[in-house]
Amino acid sequence: MMLLVPFLDQSILLRIFTFLMYVMKVRLLLKDEMENVDSFVRKMALRMWGKFEKYWSDFSPIMAIAAIMDPRFKFQFVSFSYAKVYGSNASFEVSSLKEKLFEMFDAYVSSSTRSNGGPSTTSNHNQGVNVATVDGFMEDFDDSSGVEFASTPKSELELYLEEPLIPCVNELDILDYWKSCQLRFPVLSLMARDLLCKPTSTVASESAFSIGGRVLDPVRSSLKPSVVEALICLRD
């Protein structure tokens, strides 16, 4: 069994949703190989699955939320992908992800409100004619229309999710797209900027620093400290 993930150049690194697609493919492949008729492949897939799941629960939500920030995918892509990954549990996972998405957005709204000193209000005093003072009949109109048509305004996130998808065949610079949406979605654009401009690359600290296990193998376990130090320096 061989897992191939193509090299991601800088332009693709800016698009975390692309990385999510490959990670989901790897997860599905591991799931299939755990039922392989070859016992060696099956055991290896089981060990890889254990390590994969260790990080999947921590990082899959942030990758999925980043995918939602692409106007070509939004929740439709996540629902489609989760259906393949989770099967019958997909609806629960999608609902859980939606809660995390709105919690993150609410945190950005709170942060933006604090930084701006609270919601802005515009004074309308002495602008135009107050019709209600001219005729008491209009006061009754205001009361009736306010009760009949009052509704809770939708958030930026709700408005964004309700907009139709942009066709996937279209070339789209996602960062330029959100830059152009700053006036319509000021808070959501900040959230999208933070999510989409961070490359998804990691390296295990053991691989970077803990080389003692490769130097002091069973054959070399009796080496003197000075010799071990020389070997490690030669590897630098």
Domain count within the chain: 2
The DSSP annotation for 148-159 comes to HH--PPPPHHHH
Specify whether 41 is located in the same domain as 79.
yes
pLDDT (tens digit per residue) in 216-229: 566 656 777 787 77
Angle at 216 (CA atoms; ends 214, 218), nearest 5 degrees: 105
Q: Would you say residue 129 lies in a domain?
A: no
Distance in angstroms (rounded) separating the CA atoms of residues 17 and 77: 10
pTM of the model: 0.60
Q: Would you say residue 227 lies in a domain?
A: yes
pLDDT of 9 reads: 37
Specify whether 15 is located in the same domain as 36.
yes
Q: Which domain holds residue 60?
A: 10-116+156-162+172-198
Q: Would you say residue 140 lies in a domain?
A: no
Specify whether 91 is located in the same domain as 193.
yes
Count CB atoms within 10 A of the CB of residue 185: 17
Q: Would you say residue 133 lies in a domain?
A: no
Specify whether 108 is located in the same domain as 216.
no
Specify whether 38 is located in the same domain as 88.
yes
pLDDT of 196 reads: 76
Specify whether 48 is located in the same domain as 77.
yes
Q: Would you say residue 143 lies in a domain?
A: no
pLDDT of 120 reads: 45
Specify whether 52 is located in the same domain as 107.
yes
In the predicted model, residues of the chain with pLDDT beneath 50 are 1-14, 120-129, 131-132
Task: Spell 139-151 as b/e; 16+ CB within 10 A means b.
Answer: eeeeeeeeeeeee
Specify whether 85 is located in the same domain as 186.
yes
Q: How far is CA 215 from CA 162, 230, 231, in A?
A: 57, 11, 7
pLDDT of 11 reads: 46
Specify whether 105 is located in the same domain as 222.
no
Q: Would you say residue 167 lies in a domain?
A: no
Residues 6+ positions from 29 with CB-CB distance below 8 Å: 1, 3
Q: Cβ(44)–Cβ(30) under 8 Å?
A: no
Specify whether 192 is located in the same domain as 218.
no
pLDDT (tens digit per residue) in 7-19: 333 344 345 556 7
Owner of token pair 């099967």: 87
Distance in angstroms (rounded) separating the CA atoms of residues 162 and 160: 5
pLDDT of 140 reads: 63
Angle at 106 (CA atoms; ends 160, 13), nearest 5 degrees: 60
